[in-house]
Amino acid sequence: MPPPLETKLPKVGTTIFTVMSALAAEHKAVNLGQGFPDFPPPAPLVEGLSRAMAEGKNQYAPMTGIPALRQAIAAKTKRCYGRDVNSDTEITVTSGGTEAIFDAVHAVVRPGEEVIVLDPCYDCYEPAIDLAGAKAVHVPLDPRDFSVDWQRVKEAITPRTRMLMINTPHNPCGSVFSAEDMKRLAEILRPTRVLVLSDEVYEHIVFDGHRHESVLRTPELAERSFVVSSFGKTYHCTGWKIAYTIAPPALTAEFRKVHQYVTFTTFNPAQWAFAEMLDKHPEHYDGIGAFYQAKRDAFAAKLRTTKFRPLPVAGAYFQLVDYSAVSDLDDLAFSRWLTIEKGVTAIPLAPFYETPPAGQRLVRLCFAKVDATLDAGIERLRKV
């Protein structure tokens, strides 16, 4: 008989994205839940991948990422945010943003320390903190507009605080940080030893003329930050799982110590394809915000013909909707009901919270879909 097993993650079950996508498949629902596009990546990127494989670039890439890609990332960082980063000592290519977040936490956070997260927060944050033997300290965002109460953040910092995790543009809420937010963040952290993990995987999906306020724009924040970016979100290829992290040399050195024993290296042919794409087609990431803004606007307009009330979306490709005119069920029960009985799958917000706000009736819909998918979802939602 095997010895009894005590789980290291007692609060963790199967991720809500897996659960809801499985339920969508079982009931043939229109899946507007899990955040992936149902349209192809740019043709030049796919062609570049095929070419790299045909040319024999199929073995291990360097642990840190191929030089051509790291150099292209450095050039893009300078172009977008005005910051010079060293491609050899400050950029690491990873197997997706989730790996990057895990590596950053485990590189610097020790047992007994604290990491501040802003609720609602993405569901991979707290498990990484728990596995490091640290404690996640949850500070709620404003439940109306999902802005940060910086005074509450300041009050949450203790001598045990090692890291603050931020996310802009925000998943699942679609809010974005302003320049004033970054100023307040810098002021609060200036007298502390707190590091920042800035999850910026939707950095190019920002709407209405706003710019993405990366921590890389603020030198004193960049000097204490891990910045996580994702090719999958920008180039419609989430299944390729290619991301990267920018951090100062000392932080990068620690980050790489973990990375090399988590995945060691990342899919080589795709790295060559992304290096070429960044170099030859910057118009893609320059234009992706306008591309998704058109989808946001069309989808929100059609939602207003239903009983679901769309909330403002400033970035990323998710639409929160208030379903209080439809049901008094909590969001987990409502999401199951909507999938099984009405054939549309959404993601509830409860899994993103330590303690969801009382009476909140919100679910997340993904509009990174072709028009036919969105229209099929709207047609079913009109019947609710």
Q: Where are the domains of the chain?
A: 16-41+285-381, 58-283
pLDDT under 50: residue ranges of the chain: none
Q: What is residue 5's predicted lDDT score, i.e. its pLDDT?
A: 86
Q: What is residue 149's predicted lDDT score, i.e. its pLDDT?
A: 97
Q: What is residue 111's predicted lDDT score, i.e. its pLDDT?
A: 98
56's torsion region: left (phi>0), alpha (psi -120 to 50) or beta?
left
CATH entry, 58-283, from 3.40.50.720, 3.40.640.10, 3.40.50.1370, 3.40.50.300:
3.40.640.10
Q: What is residue 13's predicted lDDT score, i.e. its pLDDT?
A: 82
CA distance 77 to 217: 10
pLDDT tens readout for residues 145-169 = 999 999 999 999 999 999 999 999 9
What is the reported pTM? 0.96
Provide the 10 A C-beta neighbour count for residue 155.
11
Q: Any idea which residue has 């603020």 for tokens?
A: 218
pLDDT tens readout for residues 270-328 = 999 999 999 999 999 999 999 999 999 999 999 999 999 999 999 999 999 999 999 99
Q: Please report, for residues 21, 30, 63, 199, 265, the alpha-carbon distance to residue 262 in angstroms, rounded to integers and kept in the order given.
A: 26, 35, 11, 19, 9
Which tokens hold the place of 66? 């191929």
Instruction: Quickly name the fold that domain 16-41+285-381 has.
Output: Aspartate Aminotransferase, domain 1 (3.90.1150)
Q: What is residue 46's predicted lDDT score, i.e. its pLDDT?
A: 98
Return the closest-CA partner of residue 129 out of 117, 145, 141, 146. Answer: 117
Q: What is residue 2's predicted lDDT score, i.e. its pLDDT?
A: 80
CA distance 270 to 230: 13
Buried b (16+ CB within 10 A) or exposed e, 209-222: eeebbbbbbbeebb
Return the closest-CA partner of residue 77 out of 220, 253, 229. Answer: 229
Please tell me the total number of residues recorded for the chain in this structure. Answer: 384
